[in-house]
Amino acid sequence: MAFPVFEKKEDIPKGFEDLYEEKDGKFSPKVTEVPDVTGLNTALETERRERAEEKKLRVKAENTAAELRRKQAAAENNISEEQLEALRKEDEVRRKPIQEELDRTKAELTKVKKTDRVQRLFLDSGGMPDRVEDAMLALDRRTGLTEDGNTITVLDKDGKLTTEKVEDFVKASFKKEKPWLYAGSGGSGSGAGGSTRTGSPADETPPGEQERITATKRAQVSGAF
C-alpha cells in the first residue's frame, strides 16, 4: 500500500513529517511502498476529524456573528424582532427540502459504503442470519467512514478511532465481545453449534438474556414511533 501524497506540508499528519520530501511542488513519501500504513491513515483520519470539529465551531461562531449583524441591520432599518423572526423562518422553510435531500443522500451513501459491507462481513465471518439485526445495532456504533467515504474505520467502545482493520474487527474482536451472535460460539438459536463458550463472564451475555434485551429494545423502538 502506498503513502498518500500531500499538497501542503501542513497536511502531513504530525509525527510523519520526516517520511516526506518536497517534489514538483508536492510532498511525496521518501519510501513509495510500505507493508502497512494503518498508523498513518489513522493519524490522518484523526486530524481530519479534528479539523471537521474545528470547522463546526468556526461555522457556529460565524452564524452567531451573522445573526448579530442581522439584528443590528434590522434595528437600523426599523425592522421589528417579530419581522426578523418571520424572515428567519421563511429562510428555514426554503432550506429545509435541500437539507432533507442532502441527509437522504448521505444516508444512502453510508448504507452502500458502510452498512451493507459490514453486514456482509459479519455474515461471511460466521454471523447468524437470524441475529444480524442485533449485530448491526452494535456494529453501526463501532464503525465509521473516512472523510472521503472510501474506507471503513473501527471505533473502540468509547467511540474513539482505532488502527484495527474492519475485517479483523468483525472476524475476531467483535466475535470475542459478542460470541452469541456467531454460529458455533455456544449461543442458542439457528446456526449455533455445540461448542463450549469461552472468555470471561464479563465479555459474554447468556443467549436467553440477550434475546430478552433485544425484545425489550424492539419494544422501546416501537413505542417511540
Residues contacting 90, CB < 8 A, separation 6+:
none
**Which carries the bigger pLDDT value, residue 125 or residue 221?**
125
CA dihedral angle for residue 66, residue 68, residue 73, residue 74, rounded to 10 degrees: 110
- For 127, other C-beta atoms within 10 Å of its C-beta total 27
Question: Which of the pair, 12 or 39, is modelled with greater confidence?
Answer: 12
Whether the model clears a pTM of 0.85, i.e. scores above it, the answer is no
Residues 6+ apart with CB under 8 A from 203: 176, 177
| Cα separation, 168 vs 150, whole angstroms | 18
Which tops the pLDDT comparison, 89 or 186? 89
Per-domain residue ranges for the chain? 1-78, 111-224
Q: Which residue has the higher pLDDT, 79 or 124?
A: 124
Judged by average pLDDT, the poorest of 68-82, 100-114, 149-163 is 68-82
Question: Could you tell me which residue, 45 or 98, shows the higher pLDDT?
Answer: 98
Asked if residue 225 has pLDDT above 50, the reply is no
Quote the cell numbers at residue 138. Answer: 452494535
Q: Using the predicted structure, report yes or no on whether residue 218 has a pLDDT greater than 70.
A: no
Q: What is the pLDDT of residues 22-62, one digit of tens each?
A: 888 888 887 655 555 556 566 666 777 777 778 788 888 88
Record the cell numbers describing residue 19, joined without a space. 517520511
**Other CB atoms within 10 A of residue 108 CB:** 10
